[in-house]
Structure 1
């Protein structure tokens, strides 16, 4: 169960808002007059799964008004216990609201000092782990790395047609990858590269099963967000493995191994494109879209454009992989 607090002016379409509350068939609700005489508070207790409908209806009722706000609060427990929803009545699956998902994603896509520090630390851990063939260190770098945040932010921005979130996520992702590449390249001049390291060399082995892994990881990340199960993101970060391929690119380039650096770069591009595409698909299947019809049209164009762009990157990367593999076979033959 959730609690929605609706703060609004006393005479500002109050009856319309109250009608929307009653239409949602809440578990309970109450109305309070606040210390500010021109303000009122409606607290609504509602079953999980129908919050988005109520929020959209209330926002539509208050379209063009000012000075209102809706807050969502989780209810950990309640007594007496609620009866199960009857079949066909409020039997919707549990899903976070659009506003909750947006807040979580925007926080993860923020470019700030903490993000840069986390990228620097995880790059150092990944670079040393890859070069020393340390599996534990590489896994630790995967978990630390915050690069999944801007990837999900990019997908969410496309799903909502939010140009601001798209730009912010693109800048954050580019900064994160740029810092990782620059730092790993600098470390390559300090650390003697170990081409016997299995962990390092696997980042130059681009296989199509890695594409399936990245697609599944992106879908799982988006699904965990929409289902309010953010704890699952740690496992997704490990599976996605965005940072180790980036660190491998810097190590190979610093050692002059340009073919290996290209293959690691292809792996990184595959992972990023697959994550974005699969997250976009999940957001659409979960009906994460803007409220108004006009905004939905803009979002549909953004989704189509970014899906085509991600698909192009995937196809181009796979074509380059096949070309490199064919070249190796010819040279060996």
Structure 2
């Protein structure tokens, strides 16, 4: 059973007890305790992962207007071992608990994505290195090196982060995601065009020619990659991260396009650019739908409707862009 230890520090004079939280989530709370620490009260709750978001939101609602702090830990182990029992009463779980049943809390996902978006130096360094590695792999027609660049490539993070920001109506995270995405694309293009100018690549290169022919299967791959990327982010399953990077292959098409432009084959490289655009659209479209299906929404009630409208508009926009790109591909092929 996945657990979280929630610690809440609040001023002593505003503490009003835990009865409402314990009564509401008694099936999901393994242990709870309240103690004094100087002028503060410390609330400790060991709860199941699926109820963590709801409990944190309830604490925030109860004490959020004061000088307080909530910290959530992931216990590595607890003794005696706690096993999840199948009880008939589980069907009575609240909607908040059901939403969090198979994912991390909104707060954990946000912190994970925001920390990545807030580390631009490391992000751009990894992007430059992966661009160089991908360029070498394409020039040498070495699939192993190209796969290595996919594993390094950080371009997936801003796309997933952008989709999450729409689900929680967070403009600050959206702006950081868009900045990192566009600046990262520009940086990879500049480096790959320069490398293509210094070491021209032939259009007959197998790694180039294979990316000149695109179809509906590429759309399916992009959509699947977005689903897996969002699921791995929301559920915390890090073991699939490498597989996601390889499946989506955002960087190699972009680098291949840059190499072709630098080598003087800009017109011939248009299908490769479309392949990259398809991957961007597919990842964002499917990840938005996954986050919505997981029930991810803002904490503040007045933002919930706004986030829902943003999700609908974003899905319609990405779907329209996908349709237009597919029509363009069909036109170019026939």
Give the TM-score normalised by the residue count of structure 2: 0.92
Per-residue deviation at 1:149? 0.7
Question: Is 2:37 the partner of 1:29?
Answer: no
Per-residue deviation at 1:285? 0.2
SS of 1:27 mapped into structure 2: strand
Over 3 Å counting, the alpha-carbon distance change for 1:88 and 1:95 in structure 2 is farther
Kindly indicate whether the alpha-carbon contact (under 8 Å) linking 2:113 and 2:157 is maintained by their aligned counterparts in 1.
yes
SS of 2:6 mapped into structure 1: strand
Residue in structure 1 matching 2:319, options 304, 311, 318: 311
**Residues 182-203 of structure 1, C-alpha deviation per residue, up to 9 Å, x if partnerless?**
1100011111213232122222
Determine the C-alpha separation between the residues in 1 that align with 2:157 and 2:305: 26
Gaps of 5+ in 1: 327-333
SS of 2:245 mapped into structure 1: helix
SS of 1:204 mapped into structure 2: coil
- Corresponding residue for residue 77 of structure 1: 77
**Residues 131-153 of structure 1, C-alpha deviation per residue, up to 9 Å, x if partnerless?**
21110111000010000110011
- Corresponding residue for residue 288 of structure 1: 296
Determine the C-alpha separation between the residues in 2 that align with 1:221 and 1:237: 8
SS of 1:31 mapped into structure 2: strand
Determine the C-alpha separation between the residues in 1 that align with 2:22 and 2:245: 39
Comparing 219-228 and 191-200, the one that deviates more: 191-200
SS of 2:14 mapped into structure 1: coil
Question: Is 2:158 the partner of 1:157?
Answer: no
- Corresponding residue for residue 329 of structure 1: none
Residue in structure 2 matching 1:128, options 109, 119, 136: 136
**Residues 166-197 of structure 1, C-alpha deviation per residue, up to 9 Å, x if partnerless?**
11100100011101111100011111213232
SS of 1:101 mapped into structure 2: helix
Gaps of 5+ in 2: none
- Corresponding residue for residue 223 of structure 1: 231
Kindly indicate whether the alpha-carbon contact (under 8 Å) linking 1:269 and 1:313 is maintained by their aligned counterparts in 2.
no
Determine the C-alpha separation between the residues in 2 that align with 1:217 and 1:110: 24
Per-residue deviation at 1:84? 2.7
Kindly indicate whether the alpha-carbon contact (under 8 Å) linking 1:203 and 1:244 is maintained by their aligned counterparts in 2.
no
Determine the C-alpha separation between the residues in 2 that align with 1:129 and 1:155: 30
**Residues 8-39 of structure 1, C-alpha deviation per residue, up to 9 Å, x if partnerless?**
11122432x552144321111111211x2x20
Per-residue deviation at 1:275? 0.2
Over 3 Å counting, the alpha-carbon distance change for 1:195 and 1:8 in structure 2 is same
**Residues 61-116 of structure 1, C-alpha deviation per residue, up to 9 Å, x if partnerless?**
224x1211211111222222224332342695332000000111112333511111
Determine the C-alpha separation between the residues in 1 that align with 2:158 and 2:83: 40
Give the TM-score normalised by the residue count of structure 1: 0.92
Determine the C-alpha separation between the residues in 1 that align with 2:303 and 2:50: 23
Aligned residue pair count = 322
Comparing 142-151 and 229-238, the one that deviates more: 229-238
